[in-house]
Amino acid sequence: PPTLFQPLQIRNLTLRNRIVVSPMGMYSSSPSGNLTSFHLMHHGQFAFRGAALTIVEVTAVTPAGRSSPADAGLWSDAHTASHKRVVDFVHGLDASGGGKAKIGIQLGHAGRKASMLPIYPGRPVVRAEKADGGWPDDVCGPSAIPFRENYVVPREMSEQDIQEVVEAFGKAAGRAVAAGFDLIEVHAAHGYLLSSFLSPASNTRCDAYGGGLRNRARFLLSVLREIRRTVPSTTPLSVRISATDWMQHSPETPQFTLDDAIALALLLVDEGVDVLDVSSGGNNVEQVVPAAPSYQTYLAGQIKTALRDAGKEMVVAGVGRIADARTAEAVVGEGKADLAFVATEFLRDANLVHRWAEELGVGVEWPKQYARA
C-alpha cells in the first residue's frame, strides 16, 4: 500500500496508518476546564472513521496557562475523570481498519497569549478581563513584551515561576497517563509559553534562560525531563515546535530560524522525544507566511534530513494545509515526514481517511455499522 496507509510503531503505540487528527482549539470545555460531551463527539467521529490517532487540543497545565476561559485543563486531579471519559469512549470504538482507536493529548501553557476571549473566525481579538472570567493580572512570559496590541503585557517569569510550571507539566502528564491517553504532546509552538522562550524576539532575558539557543531551550528541556521522569518509559512523547518565526524579510529582527529548529531537534532527540510535530510561526505579528499548499512540510523535510545526517532517529510529523490524498502521500512517501497531521480538512470531512484511501486505491475496512455505505 502507499506509505500513507502503512502502520507505524512508536514505543508501545501502533498507528494503523499515517493520518493523525492535529490538535485544534475548540473552546468547548466547561468553565472549570473539564472536557465535555462535545469532545466525545469530536474525537469519536475521527477515531471511528479511521484516523490513526486523534489528539485533544492544547490543555492547560495551570489555570493561568489557558489561552481563554473556555480552554481545557489538566492542572487538577478533578479534571482527570472528564479526560478519562473521552479516552474510554474512543478506546471503546471498533474503529475503521480494525483495532482499538487511539487518542493523545497536547499539554501546554499559553504564556503571553493567555487571558484572551476565544478566537473564532470573523471575531476581533479581545482580551478576557476579570468580568469575562479572565486573569489579566496573572499573565506571564519570558520577558515583559506583549504579543501585540490588545494582548496583556506579561510579567517576566522568575526562576521560581519557571520551576513551578515545569512541575505542573510533569503532574499534568501523570494525570494524562492515569486517564489512559496513548501519547502526550508538549505544545512548544505558535508563541505559547515554551515557544516564546525559544525565540529571541520574545525572550530578551540575561539569565540561564536567555541568550544562546541552549539557554532559550532550557525551559523546554526541563519540562521534557520532568515528563519523562513522571510517565512510563512506554509512553510516546511528542513536541510541537514552530520551525521558523517567518521573519526572513526582516533579517535585522531577532528571530527563531530553521537552523535553530534543526539544532533544537538534535537536542530533543537526546531527551527521549519520539515525535517532532513541525509547525511554524505564531510568535511575531509581523510574520510573512507563504500560503502554498502543505507549506510547512518543507520545514519538516529539512529537519528530517538533518536528523538523518547526524545519525539520529525521530518520527517527524508534517502539518499545515495537507488537504488532499496525493499531497499527504507525497509528504510521507517522499520522506519529508513520517506522519501527516491534518486539521481543518477533518473538520470539513470526518470521513477523510476513507475518501483518501479510495483516491489512492487502498481498501480500508469500514466499521461494520456503516459497511453498507
Q: How many CB atoms lie within 10 A of CB 44?
A: 20
Sequence-distant (6+) residues with CB within 8 A of 122 are none
Q: How many CB atoms lie within 10 A of CB 9?
A: 10
Residue 16: HSE in the Cβ half-sphere, 13 Å Cα cutoff: 21
What's phi and psi for 19, nearest 5 deg? -105, 115
SS3 156: strand
User: Among all residues, which ones are annotated catalytic?
Assistant: 192
Q: Quick one: pLDDT at residue 94?
A: 75
SS3 288: coil
Which among 120, 116, 107, 118 is positioned nearest to 23, based on CA atoms?
107
Question: Measured between alpha carbons, how far apart are the two ends of the chain, in Å?
Answer: 23
The whole-angstrom separation of Cα 281 and Cα 291 is 12
Along the 373 residues of the chain, how does pLDDT read in single tens digits? 999 999 999 999 999 999 999 999 999 999 999 999 999 999 999 999 999 999 999 999 999 999 999 999 999 999 999 999 999 999 998 776 666 789 999 999 999 999 999 988 888 889 999 999 999 999 999 999 999 999 999 999 999 999 999 999 999 999 999 999 999 999 999 999 999 999 999 999 999 999 999 999 999 999 999 999 999 999 999 999 999 999 999 999 999 999 999 999 999 999 999 999 999 999 999 999 987 877 889 999 999 999 999 999 999 999 988 999 999 999 999 999 999 999 999 999 999 999 999 999 999 888 888 888 8
Q: What is the pLDDT of residues 197-250, one digit of tens each?
A: 999 999 999 999 999 999 999 999 999 999 999 999 999 999 999 999 999 999
Decide if 82 contacts 36 (C-beta within 8 A): yes
Q: Quick one: pLDDT at residue 61?
A: 99
Query: Which set of grid coordinates corresponds to residue 103?
Result: 487518542
Query: Which set of grid coordinates corresponds to residue 168?
Result: 505542573
Cell numbers 493561568 label which residue?
64
pTM here is 0.97
Q: Quick one: pLDDT at residue 98?
A: 61
Domains of the chain, start order:
3-370 (3.20.20.70)
Bridge partners (DSSP) listed for residue 241: 188, 278
* Helix (H) and strand (E) counts in the chain: 11, 13
DSSP code of 364?
-
What amino acid is encoded at 268 in this protein? L
The whole-angstrom separation of Cα 318 and Cα 97 is 23
